[in-house]
Structure 1
Amino acid sequence: MKTRHAKVHFNEQGTPIADDFDDVYFSNDSGIDETLHVFIAGNDLPQRWLEHNQKHFVIAETGLGTGLNCLVAMQAFAHFRQQNPTHVLKQLFILTTEMFPLTREDLKQALARFEPLSEAAGLLAEQYPVNLDGCHRLCFDRYSTVLDIWLGDVHSLLGQWHCPADGLVDAWFLDGFAPSKNPQMWTAALFSQMARLTRTGGTLATFTVAGVVKRGLREAGFTISKRPGFGRKRDMLSGVYLHDKHSDSKAFPIENPYYRYTQSALQPTQQVAIVGGGLAGATMALALTRRGLNVTLITPKAELADGASGNPQGGFYPQLHAQPSRPSNIQAHSFLFARRYYQEILDQGATFAHDWCGVLLLDFNANVAARHQALLHNGAWPSELISGVSQTQASTIAGLPVPTGALYCKSGGWLSPPELVQAMVTLASREGRLTVMHDTRVTAISQANEHEQTGRANHVTLTTNKGVIQVDHAILCTGADSHHLGLERFLPLRAVRGQVESIKSTGALRSLQTVLCHKGYLTPAWHGRHAMGSTYVKGDTDTAVRPSESTQNQQLHQLTLAHADWHHLLRSDGTARAAIRLGLPDHLPAAGALPLPLDDCARWHALSKGVGLSKVPKPPAQAVHVLTGLGSRGLTTAPLMAEILASQLCGEPLPMANELLNSVNPQRFVVRQCIRSESSA
């Protein structure tokens, strides 16, 4: 669901004031100094950074507001990294919540007065997310900072943060409008979630010393003390959480079958193999090498992107429902992340053919038009993500007459998947941490049992046509090749053949300026040809081009666009490509640990008797993970799924709400089988 933007006005000093709460976003005197005093010094940063012995540090904030606290923390951390380049601490994560986000224009105006933060403020404004509930991950490599902006009610959001058993958060910026102005935020539920999420020894700081805050924090287990306040405020609070997280585990139950932090975080000295050289494998390789890991990318052919990722052009847009659902929320957030991700790697010097030309989803029949109108009427999605346009507007956007109105995804367009894959692999290779093995087919994979790992440097064995490869960890991004490894035993994989035509651009078609979608899709011309697709043949794994499917594609497009006076130009000349997409029954990807087969889940069958998810065991630690089942939506979903899996493997915060994470967890199918008391027979 989309969130409501904050209503603000600016006072004579240029300080934004929230109309709904009649409170300032920061001090009239000096917002930067206030943040430095209350939150940076209040949490004893950067001294704690100097004493930190982990690769990353996590700050959580209640109330993004103008982003001022985040920008000050980013800048302080960048200074720490500059002064301590060899320190083990390399990455700052800031997880911040906001129920009523500022508009981009109000954010820019509010931050304009802070000249020392102008560069960071500009980067934040550039990536600032649309007003959609959930997590928006922004990456600021220049500041060694990842900023997760969680939009929505803080009480709902914190419960959706997937938390390691030993805690997630190292320091809290307990911010927000004053308890007297915003009492609904400062509740026992908030303080309880803070306790659930805080690591032993984690700290907090807040500007307020209100009794409800002091009592609530103490009751949640924090030890608090007063410190001198900032400016005209005499006092402020700081605190520390000293409880043993393991002894507190019963107070904070975990949905054990879906628990993701089962294995130790990967270390730079370890070797990771990624099997599969398509979109999934390339995004995974880039995500891990960015984290300083050594990766071997194994692909069965002489070229990368030899499977479904090899189609010359692919449409890029999210599949949204009139009523928000878990699948469409996953689509929306994946699309928004991917759009930022692709622009980021372009800014880093990557090159791949693309055009952010937008996508028109045509009202090609009455039922579809009704669904589109329902989507617009419900108002669940931000207009920056999807909007409605008339036939006249759609024709102007398309650059040639189209027969209907449409939904318009302005930020979408098309990309060349094989060029994108090559660009990501090139970026991943820059630091010398990536090795690519071509013409190498993995035929078997095994991992050592836990007791066998003692004293072993490697505990995953890959059997290939070129011999045996031993690594510490393996990630299977095998797509349609998954059947070679017998992954059907672990996941209900479904192969679907799709043939895409490459048709000559001629006449009015040369004017097409955006991607058109109906039952199929048609892209603008690239190298004088349009992509026109696609067929959908379940269970067929033959990749030979078929004239019958060329005819099918041509007839589908000509029939659907029959009222366009240029539809007769949609003619196939036999230039086509067929590939196999791999999907799952619920049409969602799978990103996580290789699931247990049902036969190994005897203790989970208690779920069928009403036993809760927190009462059954966690899955065992795995050295094999999967990123698969992307189907025909790889351009949309691959970047965020790879980011989730890389974050999981490195013990970092996860950029997605827990209920959505469960929906892409590979374990979901066996959990459902156990709940339904199904047997493998």
Structure 2
Amino acid sequence: MKYANLEWRDGQPYNPEFDDVYFSIDNGIEETEHVFIQHNQLLQRFTQIGTPHFVITETGFGSGLNFLVTVKHWLELSEPSCTLHFYSVENSPFSLQDLIQAHNSWPELAELAEELQQHYCAASYGFHSFDLFNGRVKLVLMIGDVETMLPRMQAKVDAWFLDGFAPGRNPDMWSETVFSHIKRLSKKGTTFSTYTAAGFVRRGLIEVGFDVEKVSGTGNKRHMITGRLNSENTLAYQSPQPWYENKLSESVNKQVTIIGAGLAGISSAWALVKRGFKVEIIEKGGQAGAQASGNPQGMLMPRLSLQDSAEAEFYISAYFYALRCLQLLDIEQNCWKQTGGIQLACSERFKKQIENFPQDSLLAQVLDAEEASEVSGLKIENKAHYFPRAACVYPKKILQIMIDEMGDALTITYNTDVKSIHYENQHWSLVNKKGEVVNQAANLILANAWQVKLFEQLDHLNLQPARGQISLYKANQQSRKLKLPLSFEGYLMPESDNQHVSGASFVVDDSETDIRTEEFQANLSDINLWFKDLFVEDDINGGRASVRAVTSDRVPVVGRVADKCRLVSDYADLHKGKPVNKYPLSKMLPGLYVNTGHGARGFTSAFLSSELLAAMICEESLPVSNRVSYALHSSRFLIRSLKKRRV
């Protein structure tokens, strides 16, 4: 990913690659009002929305001017219960510094611009989701070229802002592929507008079904075009992986029950309550965060990869989304501290990342040994990766803040163990070991860690328990110098309450929570490899063992749950390599969802996973790309087995 290589000319950002400016310094706002607001009839449409959501997609985010002007009208005109979903593609995003400089041109938008600046991040390719303006606006920046990003969108768009550079300078923005996906993502009544009046753009939009009109332009543009899709969209969309998609239902029931009161369950409830749901959580233990979510301290750091993959996109997007959620929950940072974090070169994989991963002021920077030592407070002998926005988190405090914020919209029933679930009369029944129905729900989310696979409907998951034991060390004069979390074979947290948290062991297929001396010793040995004699055995001041849920591919399981028998039947011959258009969309179990498998990185992955789940339940446009939602899908293990003829 590369930021835009801008030149500033008399206060205007100029892009030498396309030989064009991003906006007019004299009348940029007026141009946006004329081209995009007026010719998509947004002032009228914002006051007459018949649905809870309005979706705009823009090709070319640039300085964010179109977004800010649109948000201004949205907040003034729309009902507070409605949400604006604003998607924008940008191949060469502004750096934060350039974004702020551009926004200085519009003092009348300063308050709106400040909120965008506080959350803005475009540090990697892929989808980046932002909840802004008290949840009334959801911005998704799609960092990458438009021909890659639009095919990965899962949405139905109400209005298009086609705002790439002039077609002659940026032809890829106006290709047949782009036009076909504009049609795919549109519906009857969808509108578009664009500065250009180029003939091939007009013809391309007409060919995919839009009624197009040439109208007066603005500034030095004599003409522009606008249009509407006036017929039903009969384009036969072919999903690239139909086994992960399904037809949407016609209504959304706002009754939800969640099994599990760990981070996955609580964050799922939080995402739904913000959408007006009433949620009940059923928890086996006697408190929230009974397992790994209840550790006294943890770290929030990104998981990097040198590969362009769905998994890499998910973890970086999730990392920044989690940080934004923590800011919304606790701006005073009482339950978390944005200290930064350091990854030591503890394996060949991390050494390669340090040498080859692109540096970015928001995501990852390479420090030499001296710099790493100064930043961390402890002596470090080698180069390391520094994550400037990483954080210390206090899990139980975070869970409690979310619980308190949800108030009466959340009910938690503790000490209730659900042994089976079954569906009848449009509801899921939750049954305990005595055969008693303890709860019924139209929508059910399974968020009870590795025990999810004990339910018949999900017994095919490659999901395992993984025991982890942390160690607590009494702080000493040297250890108190540590300023931020360190990650190596294990991890070490800075002092809190006169002690340090370190860990954690990782024992797969072990669900016991007894305290083990050998795991204390292993944790201490990991520290001594890097910081000899920082602690001795007598410094161990207790510990805690808990069980995580891990998947075979180290990616969470999030989303709808397929009918297992139908899945095997419908896709039994996947190994033959038939064209995907020969297969139907997947048959999903009604109202059943899953959110688990977060492993040792729950605070990185849980918040975005829960937002994705809530969007699915509410049948909203999704905050992630389709390749990410496919990578998280619960059917992926069975699909892989079918492709390899192992079922």
2:414 to 408, 416, 438: 438
Name the amino acid aligned to 2:164.
G
Name the amino acid aligned to 2:271.
A
CA distance in 1, matches of 2:559, 2:599: 17
1:16-65 CA distance string (max 9 Å, x none): 22221121212343111111111011111122233332110100000001
1:402 to 366, 373, 380: 380
Name the amino acid aligned to 1:139.
D
- Contact 2:450 2:463 (C-alpha < 8 Å) held by counterparts: no
CA distance in 2, matches of 1:570, 1:79: 62
Q: CA deviation at 1:571?
A: 4.8
CA distance in 2, matches of 1:180, 1:613: 36
**What are the residue-to-residue correspondences of 1:469-618 with 2, within 5 Å?**
469-482=439-452, 485-486=455-456, 489-558=459-528, 560-561=529-530, 564-569=531-536, 571=538, 573=540, 575-597=542-564, 601-618=568-585
- Contact 1:65 1:102 (C-alpha < 8 Å) held by counterparts: yes
Q: CA deviation at 1:264?
A: 4.3
CA distance in 1, matches of 2:172, 2:587: 40
1:537-586 CA distance string (max 9 Å, x none): 1211111112232222223322x12xx35434465536111111111111
Aligned match of 1:115: 107
**What are the residue-to-residue correspondences of 1:411-422 with 2, within 5 Å?**
411-422=389-400
- Contact 1:317 1:335 (C-alpha < 8 Å) held by counterparts: yes
Q: CA deviation at 1:383?
A: 4.7
CA distance in 2, matches of 1:542, 1:142: 42
Higher alpha-carbon deviation: 466-475 or 668-677: 466-475
Q: CA deviation at 1:613?
A: 3.3
Alignment root-mean-square deviation, CA: 2.1
Q: What secondary structure sits across from 1:54 in the alignment?
A: coil
Name the amino acid aligned to 2:492.
L
- Contact 2:246 2:585 (C-alpha < 8 Å) held by counterparts: no
2:50 to 42, 49, 53: 53
CA distance in 1, matches of 2:239, 2:631: 19
CA distance in 2, matches of 1:500, 1:19: 53
Q: CA deviation at 1:380?
A: 4.1
1:655 to 619, 623, 626: 623
1:301 to 285, 300, 306: 285
CA distance in 1, matches of 2:7, 2:462: 54
Q: CA deviation at 1:381?
A: 5.7
1:664 to 629, 632, 635: 632
CA distance in 2, matches of 1:653, 1:381: 32
Q: What secondary structure sits across from 1:159 in the alignment?
A: helix
Q: CA deviation at 1:142?
A: 4.2
Q: What secondary structure sits across from 1:580 in the alignment?
A: strand
- Contact 2:453 2:460 (C-alpha < 8 Å) held by counterparts: no
- Change beyond 3 A, Cα 1:278–1:438: same
CA distance in 2, matches of 1:143, 1:257: 32
CA distance in 2, matches of 1:606, 1:143: 44
Q: CA deviation at 1:68?
A: 0.3
2:252 to 263, 266, 272: 266
- Change beyond 3 A, Cα 1:494–1:487: farther
1:361 to 343, 348, 353: 343
Aligned match of 1:225: 213
- Contact 2:247 2:585 (C-alpha < 8 Å) held by counterparts: no
Aligned match of 1:456: none
CA distance in 1, matches of 2:464, 2:586: 25
CA distance in 2, matches of 1:278, 1:214: 53
CA distance in 1, matches of 2:489, 2:631: 26
- Change beyond 3 A, Cα 1:612–1:645: farther
Q: What secondary structure sits across from 1:673 in the alignment?
A: helix
Name the amino acid aligned to 1:90.
C
Gaps of 5+ in 2: none
For normalisation by structure 2, the TM-score amounts to 0.95
Pairing 1:77–2:67 present = no
Aligned match of 1:144: 136
- Contact 2:127 2:313 (C-alpha < 8 Å) held by counterparts: no
- Change beyond 3 A, Cα 1:264–1:294: farther
CA distance in 2, matches of 1:460, 1:125: 43
- Contact 1:322 1:371 (C-alpha < 8 Å) held by counterparts: no
1:325-381 CA distance string (max 9 Å, x none): 43233221111111122112113x7x65322222222234xxx2x544432443446
Pairing 1:157–2:124 present = no
Name the amino acid aligned to 1:312.
P
**What are the residue-to-residue correspondences of 1:304-383 with 2, within 5 Å?**
304-347=288-331, 352-364=334-346, 368=347, 370-380=348-358, 382-383=360-361
Q: CA deviation at 1:304?
A: 0.6
1:85-113 CA distance string (max 9 Å, x none): 5xxx6010100011111121221121212
Q: What secondary structure sits across from 1:633 in the alignment?
A: helix
CA distance in 1, matches of 2:395, 2:32: 44
Pairing 1:16–2:13 present = yes
- Change beyond 3 A, Cα 1:142–1:301: closer
CA distance in 2, matches of 1:565, 1:544: 28
Pairing 1:204–2:180 present = no
Name the amino acid aligned to 1:440.
T
Q: What secondary structure sits across from 2:405 in the alignment?
A: helix
Aligned match of 1:386: 364
- Contact 2:25 2:105 (C-alpha < 8 Å) held by counterparts: no
Pairing 1:625–2:603 present = no
- Change beyond 3 A, Cα 1:253–1:599: closer
Pairing 1:44–2:41 present = yes
CA distance in 2, matches of 1:570, 1:207: 70
Q: CA deviation at 1:629?
A: 0.6
CA distance in 2, matches of 1:553, 1:486: 37
2:235 to 236, 248, 253: 248
Q: What secondary structure sits across from 1:273 in the alignment?
A: strand
- Change beyond 3 A, Cα 1:536–1:570: same
- Contact 2:453 2:459 (C-alpha < 8 Å) held by counterparts: no
Identity of aligned residues (%): 32
CA distance in 2, matches of 1:587, 1:676: 20
CA distance in 1, matches of 2:411, 2:532: 52
Q: What secondary structure sits across from 2:555 in the alignment?
A: coil
- Contact 2:566 2:587 (C-alpha < 8 Å) held by counterparts: no
1:64-94 CA distance string (max 9 Å, x none): 011000001111000113xx45xxx601010
Residue-pair matches, total: 644
Q: What secondary structure sits across from 1:594 in the alignment?
A: strand
Name the amino acid aligned to 1:493.
L
Name the amino acid aligned to 1:105.
Q
- Change beyond 3 A, Cα 1:34–1:532: same
Q: What secondary structure sits across from 1:469 in the alignment?
A: strand
Pairing 1:425–2:403 present = yes
2:165 to 161, 177, 200: 177
1:171-226 CA distance string (max 9 Å, x none): 00111211232223222221111001112211101111111111111112111112
- Contact 2:567 2:587 (C-alpha < 8 Å) held by counterparts: no
Higher alpha-carbon deviation: 612-621 or 419-428: 612-621
Q: What secondary structure sits across from 2:311 in the alignment?
A: helix
Name the amino acid aligned to 1:356.
Q
CA distance in 2, matches of 1:574, 1:545: 12
For normalisation by structure 1, the TM-score amounts to 0.90
